Amino acid sequence: MISVSRLLRDKPETGDHVRYSGKSNPYPLVLVFNVTRNCNLRCVHCYSNSGTRSYQDLPLDTWLRAVRQAADMGVKHILLSGGEPLMRRDLHLIAKEAHDYGIRVELSTNGTMITEERISEIKNYIDYVGVSLDGPKEIHDKVRGVEGAFERALEGLKVAKKFGLKTGLRMTLTRLNYAHVDEVFRIMKENDIDRICFYHLAYAGRADASLDIPNSERLKVVEKIADYAKNTDFEVLTADNPVDGILLYKMTRSPTVYELLKRNGGNKSGERIADVSPEGIIYPDQFTPIPIGIIENLKEPWDKPHPLVAKLRDRKKYVKCSSCPFFEVCNGGLRARAYAVTGDFWERDPSCYLDEIQKKYG
């Protein structure tokens, strides 16, 4: 994850201790807990293939034990996701367990199920509410597959803000919405939202490369995001494409920016972050379909370690673009995209737009 606002405005942010520590850790500092596959929407780009059919969730005790293991591993952040995590009536108990162990808890939601009752249950245990938004009303509802999803998402954000919670928007860039970045920033300002993160599309679940944007357009969109970030007070981030950091360096030519990017280290799937699926399978991230362990033994993939984890820790030997002069700040990008398109986990990330950056900035 790249904090565009941090790099361009040099203003410290809450995630700095994870993003820029420059340290290697034996376990991930961030875990995504996909606590359910159930969802009240059916989004065209859903990485977990969630939807409105009924799925059997893992029992509460399984997730509580996982939280305790995470605490023992030194995990700093748990992101509660799904599916739609608020489909679980016991979500507040998972959040409370993590909070009580000193882990920062963040909620990733479509926003439509946020009510005063649900926020009252969970507000003391979470640090942040991130609501997905895909653009203005017509675009958002089309992507989400349910009419009225846009209004309900904004209403959910207002409820979260009413209870004093830090709030943010999460927008995944696709060919359906990338032309609407201006409208999303307008929504940010009108609703006094604290943070926005733009995700580059990962080819997983119901999303494939046909939904993605051309790399020539990717350059223009990230430039626009950077221009907004220079002139706003809220946090602006991008995720799942560390080439964004290279663009920011080229735009600024700042040694300080480059040093922070080196400390960040680019993509850290399986190292700084890992994912636990609704079925309790551990993956290097939310998008890589290669299992590395099971929830009952959360430490094992890093203690042994699993062969894929071992290679990810030493990925410069395997990623086919590792001779790139910017590899130290990119780390090869998102392996899941390369795997989805080529079948080769170590091939170049097809969303790398370094060539376009070099043509423009040299």
Q: Cβ distance 6 to 16 under 8 Å?
A: yes
Predicted local distance difference test score (pLDDT) of residue 54: 87
Where are the strands (E) in 110-232, listed by range? 128-132, 167-173, 195-200
Confidence bin at 11 (pLDDT 50/70/90): confident
Of the listed ranges 11-15, 236-240, 353-357, the one predicted with least confidence: 11-15
3-class DSSP state for residue 124?
coil
The residue with tokens 């130290």 is 328
pLDDT in tens, 272-303: 999 999 999 999 999 999 999 999 999 999 99
242 token code pair: 């560390």
One-letter identity of residue 79: L
The percent of residues in the chain predicted with pLDDT above 70, rounded, is 100
Question: Which strand ranges, in their side-by-side order, compose the sheet holding 195-200?
Answer: 2-3, 235-239, 195-200, 167-173, 128-132, 104-109, 77-81, 30-34, 273-276, 281-283, 293-294
CA 149 to CA 14: how far, in whole Å? 30
Confidence bin at 17 (pLDDT 50/70/90): confident
- In this model, does residue 13 exceed pLDDT 90? no
362 token code pair: 């040299």
- In this model, does residue 22 exceed pLDDT 80? no
Which domains are delineated in the chain?
2-361 (3.20.20.70)
One-letter identity of residue 58: L
Q: How many CB atoms lie within 10 A of CB 358?
A: 12
Predicted local distance difference test score (pLDDT) of residue 12: 80
Predicted local distance difference test score (pLDDT) of residue 343: 97
Look up the pTM and report it. Answer: 0.96
115 token code pair: 């009510």
pLDDT in tens, 144-162: 999 999 999 999 999 999 9
- In this model, does residue 23 exceed pLDDT 90? no
Closest by CA to 92, choosing from 123, 68, 114, is 123
Give me the chain's average pLDDT, please: 95
Predicted local distance difference test score (pLDDT) of residue 88: 96
Report phi then psi at 107, rounded to 5.
Answer: -105, 125
Average pLDDT (112-119) is 97
Predicted local distance difference test score (pLDDT) of residue 157: 96
Average pLDDT (241-255) is 97
Alpha carbon 194 to its chain centroid, in Å, reads 16
Average pLDDT (334-362) is 97
Of the listed ranges 48-57, 86-95, 284-293, 346-355, the one predicted with least confidence: 48-57
